A = this chain, B = another copy of it.
Amino acid sequence: MDRRETIYCRRHYSEGSNREIIIDLEDITIMTNLNVTRKLAEYAVTHKEFNDQAVHEAKRCMLDWLGVAFGGSSHEGVDIILKTGSCLGNSQIATVIGRNEKIDVLHAALVNGFMAHVLDYDDTHLDSFVHPSPPVWSALSALSAIYPINGKEALEAFIIGFEVETRIGKVLFRKHEERGWHMTGMAGGFGAAAAVGRILGLTVEQMQQAFGITATYASGLRSMFGTMSKSIHPGKAAMSGLYGALLAKNGFSSALDVLEARRGYFEVNASESDLQAAVEGLGNSFEIFKNSVKPYACGVVTHPIIDGAIALRKQFAANQSDIERVEIEVNPMVLDVTAKENPSTGLEGKFSVYHCTAAGLLDGECGPKQFTNERVNAHDIAEVRKKVSARINKNYQTYESKVTLYHYSGEKYSHYVPFAKGTENNPLTDQELEGKYKSMAKEAINEERADNLAQFVWNLNDKVFLSDVLKQCSSEEFIKAGEG
């Protein structure tokens, strides 16, 4: 930005008397001097050190992303996006996961990002509340339809994208999210831009431009939760990051310092935040090691409660008539995000910690089946939901909880969860993660193809292309295989 602009304003304002436009130059100088945009761009373009563990995490992310995308591929929202896209003059060159349609590159990023989020079953970076895989994997895979990307490059680009989106997200979170923005919609695009830009070989300056374009596309309101529009956010992030990187590659101009600029991304969205957090330890530490993979198909803040409810169910086979009441003790975010008392649809059930508690107690699981319209409206689960009351414990972390069940017999059972299943200190094993993937992949393709695809992902390297992964994701191939 033009520094003289602000200085000039101030000079003239001392003559006049209008307070409103005087800005604190010192604050702005501090922000501008951080060069966060440039540092992240340099990192995205040049970083070369990737240890095997980080690459393995990236494979886990890909497999989990594919699984939840297969799971979401039959959602009616996908039908609507594909139907809408098909009348807009777009050709069929990019894979739509789990479907026999193909679509143009930008819509592929959009729809694959949508389906990977619509079950609320995708991974979460708890320090930023960004869902990291859908924006980045959806963008990279869409690009692979028109650009050669080998497996090694794809995994490294993904790690970089993960790093950029979650670091930007960490700066915004939690104030920004409380204000009403959906973190993945706001920060996810930067991950997509970083990953795609790296693959396209952007210069550092072009990467800064790509971040600028992505920033001015960033959006996503929390008031969309419980509707299909929530899940368009990660798709939109994938699309805008991909598009921003492509535009920048072709010479489109943007602000070079969008993150720290006066009236830039951070000032507009989170003026009092610590920008330094976005670049601290950059290149030495990896946010990907702090990823959470969901064992349950609903808002991640409900997971420690579900762990507790399932544990109590194992202790004694609960049924509706045994339960007098249930008390849950939770981090404050739980009621901020998932306090729907009487959900009436599957999507709403995902935002009801009461429903999640009841499902854990009655069904012993919280997979996609517990969040169908039918199950949410079933009598037994509705009865138990009513018996659940919540208590805030602000010393609890988002991965922590306690569930206490008061039995009609007078007995009281309590279970404390220090780390929810799937989070950093209690991760899913590779086998558990693959099991989650397979439960959904086999429905969209067949079991044999789902198994083969999983092996393909675990063995991904520089000898194969990302487009080879995508080829195995289309149900068209399945139909062809069936015919042959």
B104 touches A90 (CB 8 A): yes
A254 touches B268 (CB 8 A): no
CA distance A104 to B262 in the complex (A): 36
Which candidate, A48-56, A212-220, A401-409, is the interface stretch facing chain B?
A212-220
Shortest distance from the beta carbon of A88 to any chain B beta carbon, whole Å: 4
| A232 contacts the other chain (CB 8 A) | yes
| A340 contacts the other chain (CB 8 A) | yes
Q: A335 contacts which of B12, B81, B236, B253 (Cβ < 8 Å)?
A: B12
Shortest distance from the beta carbon of A25 to any chain B beta carbon, whole Å: 14
A21 touches B88 (CB 8 A): no
Residues of A332-372 whose CB lies within 8 A of B: 332, 335-336, 339-342, 348
B89 touches A15 (CB 8 A): no
A254 touches B267 (CB 8 A): no
B106 touches A88 (CB 8 A): yes
Residues of A1-49 whose CB lies within 8 A of B: 1-2, 4-5, 8-9, 12-13, 15-18, 20-21
| A164 contacts the other chain (CB 8 A) | no
Per-position contact with B for A227-268: 1 when CB-CB < 8 Å, else 0? 111001100100000010011001111110110011111011
| A391 contacts the other chain (CB 8 A) | yes
| A392 contacts the other chain (CB 8 A) | yes
B84 touches A250 (CB 8 A): yes
| A221 contacts the other chain (CB 8 A) | yes
CA distance A340 to B4 in the complex (A): 7
Residues of B within 8 A of A146 (CB): 87-89
Residues of B within 8 A of A425 (CB): none
User: Do A247 and B81 contact each other (CB < 8 Å), given the known contacts A5-B340, A145-B89, A341-B4?
Assistant: yes
Residues of A134-161 whose CB lies within 8 A of B: 145-146
| A386 contacts the other chain (CB 8 A) | no
A219 touches B222 (CB 8 A): no
| A223 contacts the other chain (CB 8 A) | yes
A181 touches B268 (CB 8 A): yes
Q: A88 contacts which of B105, B215, B229 (Cβ < 8 Å)?
A: B105
Within the oligomer, what is the number of copies of this chain? 2
| A180 contacts the other chain (CB 8 A) | yes
CA distance A338 to B389 in the complex (A): 56
CA distance A339 to B263 in the complex (A): 15
Central interface residue in A105, A265, A332, A391, by most chain B CB within 10 Å: A332
User: Do A392 and B8 contact each other (CB < 8 Å), given the known contacts A84-B246, A218-B219?
Assistant: no
Per-position contact with B for A196-229: 1 when CB-CB < 8 Å, else 0? 0000000000000000110111111111101111
Residues of B within 8 A of A479 (CB): none
User: Do A84 and B243 contact each other (CB < 8 Å), given the known contacts A9-B335, A221-B263, A267-B180?
Assistant: yes
User: Do A232 and B213 contact each other (CB < 8 Å), given the known contacts A9-B336, A146-B89, A391-B15?
Assistant: yes
A9 touches B264 (CB 8 A): no
CA distance A60 to B216 in the complex (A): 30
CA distance A88 to B185 in the complex (A): 22
B15 touches A392 (CB 8 A): yes
CA distance A224 to B393 in the complex (A): 43
| A480 contacts the other chain (CB 8 A) | no
| A93 contacts the other chain (CB 8 A) | yes
Per-position contact with B for A90-116: 1 when CB-CB < 8 Å, else 0? 111110000000011110000000000
| A272 contacts the other chain (CB 8 A) | no
Shortest distance from the beta carbon of A118 to any chain B beta carbon, whole Å: 11
B394 touches A18 (CB 8 A): yes
The 10 A-B residue pairs with the shortest CB-CB distance in the complex, in nearest-first order: A180-B263, A16-B392, A180-B268, A89-B104, A89-B93, A229-B254, A219-B219, A223-B264, A88-B105, A223-B261
List 12 A-B residue pairs with CB atoms under 8 Å apart, sorted by A's residue number: A12-B391, A77-B252, A84-B247, A84-B252, A89-B92, A104-B104, A180-B267, A216-B219, A216-B232, A216-B233, A221-B263, A223-B265
